[in-house]
Amino acid sequence: MHEAAIAQAVLDTALEALPDKESRITTITVVAGVLAGVEEECLAAYFNELCRCTAAEGASLRLVMEPARLICKECGKQTNYAGGGRLALECSACGGLNHLEGGKALYLDSVEVES
């Protein structure tokens, strides 16, 4: 349920980005790595509640998930890890041990506003 804190931070960051008091936010785009631990439905539920009576009331929240990469330490083969499923410890090509990188991003990419 850390999504509550994240939803509040998304809203605060989006409201800070508004050019003036009259603008209203219609869409917010958030980029989250698959290892950032953000669950989309849960985030949206909190977000919709928190947006009430703000310039973002009714705005839609777009969550763009960013994959992590599995890199084989033996042969260097790279595969994307999109979360879910079982993390493949072994390289599908040579059986070497994989190393997991990236997937930790969590940032507000953009807001769409109307005056």
Tokens of 84: 């879910």
Q: How far is the CB of 1 from another protein (least distance, A)?
A: 5
Site map (CB under 8 A) of another protein, residues 85-104, x = contact: -xx-x-------xxxx--xx
Q: Does 19 bind another protein (CB under 8 A)?
A: yes
Q: CA-CA distances (angstroms) from residue 109 to 10, 90, 99?
A: 10, 33, 27
Place of tokens 């809203």: 11
Footprint of another protein on 48-87 (CB under 8 A): 68, 86-87
| Span from 30-38, 46-54, 55-63 in contact with another protein (CB under 8 A) | 30-38
Q: How far is the CB of 50 from another protein (least distance, A)?
A: 13
Q: Does 17 bind another protein (CB under 8 A)?
A: yes
Number of chain positions touching another protein (CB under 8 A): 36
Assign 40 to helix, strand or coil. helix
Task: For residues 44 and 50, give the distance between their C-alpha atoms in angstroms, rounded to a whole number.
Answer: 10
